[in-house]
A and B are shown apart, each in its own frame.
Chain A
Amino acid sequence: MASIAPSFPIEADFSDRLNPLLVKELRQGLRNRVFVSSFLLVHAFVAIAIGFETLSIGFSGEQSGNESWMALQWAAEVLFVCILLPMRALTATEDEVRASAPDLLRLANYDAGAVIFGKWKTQLLLSSVLLVSLAPYHFLRFYVGGADVISQTLALLWAWSESAMLSALCLCLSTLRVWARCIWIAVLLIPLWITLVPPSLLLFGHIDGSGIVVALIVWSVVWFGATMFFLTLAISGFDTQMRYRHLAE
């Protein structure tokens, strides 16, 4: 058959060094409507908040009293990173099954672990993309309002780590049947959000002092243990789907 010159950028693409699953997930993730629209909304919201903050400093000449704007901006970031982004993973393995992909992935010698880790790493990268893209606003606030950049960066890292753990949990839940997933969302995910997100909102600009080191160590241990536990369950669940899904059809 005659070869037609393709118009798509066949070589100007993701590097070969990246894991193919990561490339696939990033392509899908960066184009996902929920991600893109939320990303733009957060940026718009933060830009408006910073604008008002700058204006109020300009009018009043005081740098204090702008906490409300900062809190709003921080709330938008936390809601996106800790709630909206992990929610994307709630249907992650279901998407693979819907695409009849488990068999095809097995034939390409991918196991459940590779697939789940690929999806989890994509979640981390997407939350990183958002947080890095918001960094200029924080530096702007430092120059305009004299905000504590180190404290804010630590708070962002904290939110990022929460997002990673909640994404692992959502990946784990995605391997369950819809009714079981709904039950676990009600009894585990929502209570976790209630437990983790409000304190995170209060952290912004307040991470300092000697207690922070202890808090970070405790959090790291809890974070690592919980994340690995959820990922292991997710791998086990998806492995079962990969091997026995066809029997249910």
Chain B
Amino acid sequence: MSEIEKKTPPPLPEKLVEVRGLHRAFDKVHAVQDLSFEIHRGQVVGFIGANGAGKTTTMRIMATLDSPSSGTVYVGGEDVMQHPERVRRLIGWMPDSFGTYSYMTVFEYLDFFARAYGFKAKERAERVRDVMDFADLTPLAERPMNKLSKGMGQRLCFGRMLLPDPEFMILDEPAAGLDPKARMEFKNLVRILAQRGKTLFISSHILSELGEMCDTLLFIDAGKIVYHGGSEQLRRSNGNGADGKAQIVVDVAVTGDPQSPALWAAMNPGWKLLEQKRDGARLALAASDPADLAAGLRKMILDGVQVVEFHREERKLEDAFVDMIKKIQ
């Protein structure tokens, strides 16, 4: 069958995706090992891992493009191995690489896939038009594909994914190589789709952006899930799942002995010298209770240390991720 039959879809289960004991081996390399997780309808899930961690393999299996060595994946209640054609009606796939057809315009590319997905005549025209408007491709409609910039190409790829109006979208490194403006536009598109109740599964190396876009983060390392939860929870964790400490960083000026901030830090428990400068220093205090941070700062001022600037330091997702990997190793 070359065109997807369009029927009234059955109601989708609340657990839109269920991955159970997923394992994928290529000869002696175990790309994915005993992976299990669930994605609920309407969630935006960030999928994070280093190169070779097994992200793309997992995503390809979920998208019916690869077969697991063992384990099961259900999308919308359908087994991806048993009924790939049913699963394909639910999913949109945006690969990490985007190539171009020669002698084909943006409109023709979308029109081809709209035809392939079974849209006819006016319905097809409307669908292509809607997608081009949504992804801001209308001004590029007649531009040859090979004359598109990286950002434009990603938008086209994104638009193609949206053509069948999928419930579940799998995006493999969608923001890779995009400039800041294009990244911002992409984030906005994701936000709109999330508001419309779509379920998105996005892999990326840019953890801070995923933290902003996603409800849930899934960290994968060496083919295994090492974290599944919210970004705030991860930021606050100290790497082993327990709530960690907040930290304030204080820049101080030195008028007399340059070693005085270091001495002061040594005499006051909890404080540590981060950096010694020619005309000042940078100190830090970490504490579980914010009141302890306020007390520590007050004591510093009362002791006559010349505070120039202070700020509470948020732990970056990247740091949290690195800490977690170190703990595991």
B interface residues, Cβ below 8 angstroms from A:
1-4, 26, 56, 60, 63-66, 85, 88, 91, 93, 95, 97-105, 107-108, 111-113, 115-117, 120-122, 124-125, 128-129, 132-134, 136, 138-139, 141-142, 160
Chain B residues near A215: list those with CB within 8 A: none
Known interface pairs A20-B112, A20-B116, A23-B112; A3-B64 also in contact (CB < 8 Å): no
Interface size class of A (residues with CB under 8 A): 35 or more
Contact with B along A99-124 (1 / 0, CB 8 A): 11101111111100010000000000
* Chain A 1-15 residues near chain B, CB threshold 8 A: 1-4, 6-8, 10-11, 13
- CB of A247 closer than 8 Å to a CB of B: yes
- CB of A84 closer than 8 Å to a CB of B: no
B95 near A98: Cβ-Cβ < 8 Å? no
Chain A residues near B122: list those with CB within 8 A: 11
Of chain A, the residue at the smallest CB distance from B60 is A246
- CB of A16 closer than 8 Å to a CB of B: yes
Known interface pairs A2-B133, A8-B107, A8-B141; A107-B100 also in contact (CB < 8 Å): no
A16 near B121: Cβ-Cβ < 8 Å? yes
- CB of A21 closer than 8 Å to a CB of B: yes
Of chain B, the residue at the smallest CB distance from A117 is B2
- CB of A31 closer than 8 Å to a CB of B: yes
Known interface pairs A11-B125, A20-B2; A103-B95 also in contact (CB < 8 Å): yes
Distance, CA A2 to CA B100, complexed state (A): 27
Known interface pairs A8-B141, A8-B142, A109-B88; A114-B102 also in contact (CB < 8 Å): no
B133 near A108: Cβ-Cβ < 8 Å? no
Of chain B, the residue at the smallest CB distance from A24 is B112
The contact of A109 among B2, B93, B141, by CB within 8 Å, is: B2
Distance, CA A88 to CA B272, complexed state (A): 70
A4 near B142: Cβ-Cβ < 8 Å? no
Distance, CA A27 to CA B105, complexed state (A): 10
Chain A residues near B141: list those with CB within 8 A: 6-8
A106 near B65: Cβ-Cβ < 8 Å? yes
Chain B residues near A104: list those with CB within 8 A: 93, 95, 113, 160
> A20, A27, A101 — which one has the most chain B CB atoms within 10 A of its CB?
A20
Of chain A, the residue at the smallest CB distance from B160 is A104
B107 near A10: Cβ-Cβ < 8 Å? yes
The contact of B117 among A1, A23, A108, by CB within 8 Å, is: A108
Cβ-closest 7 pairs across A and B: A20-B115, A108-B116, A99-B99, A100-B99, A31-B103, A10-B125, A24-B112
Chain B residues near A16: list those with CB within 8 A: 115, 120-121, 124
Chain A residues near B120: list those with CB within 8 A: 16
The contact of B134 among A1, A7, A11, A13, by CB within 8 Å, is: A1
Chain A residues near B136: list those with CB within 8 A: 1
Q: List 6 A-B contacts (CB under 8 A).
A: A3-B129, A6-B132, A16-B121, A20-B115, A95-B102, A105-B116
Of chain B, the residue at the smallest CB distance from A27 is B108
Distance, CA A2 to CA B134, complexed state (A): 9
The contact of B100 among A7, A13, A20, A99, by CB within 8 Å, is: A99
The contact of B128 among A3, A10, A109, by CB within 8 Å, is: A10
- CB of A220 closer than 8 Å to a CB of B: no
Give the distance to chain A from B59, nearest Cβ to Cβ, in Å. 11
A109 near B95: Cβ-Cβ < 8 Å? no
Known interface pairs A10-B128, A11-B122, A100-B95; A109-B85 also in contact (CB < 8 Å): yes
Distance, CA A11 to CA B124, complexed state (A): 9
Chain B residues near A4: list those with CB within 8 A: 133, 138-139
Of chain A, the residue at the smallest CB distance from B98 is A100
- CB of A28 closer than 8 Å to a CB of B: yes
Chain A residues near B160: list those with CB within 8 A: 104
Give the distance to chain B from A148, nearest Cβ to Cβ, in Å. 39
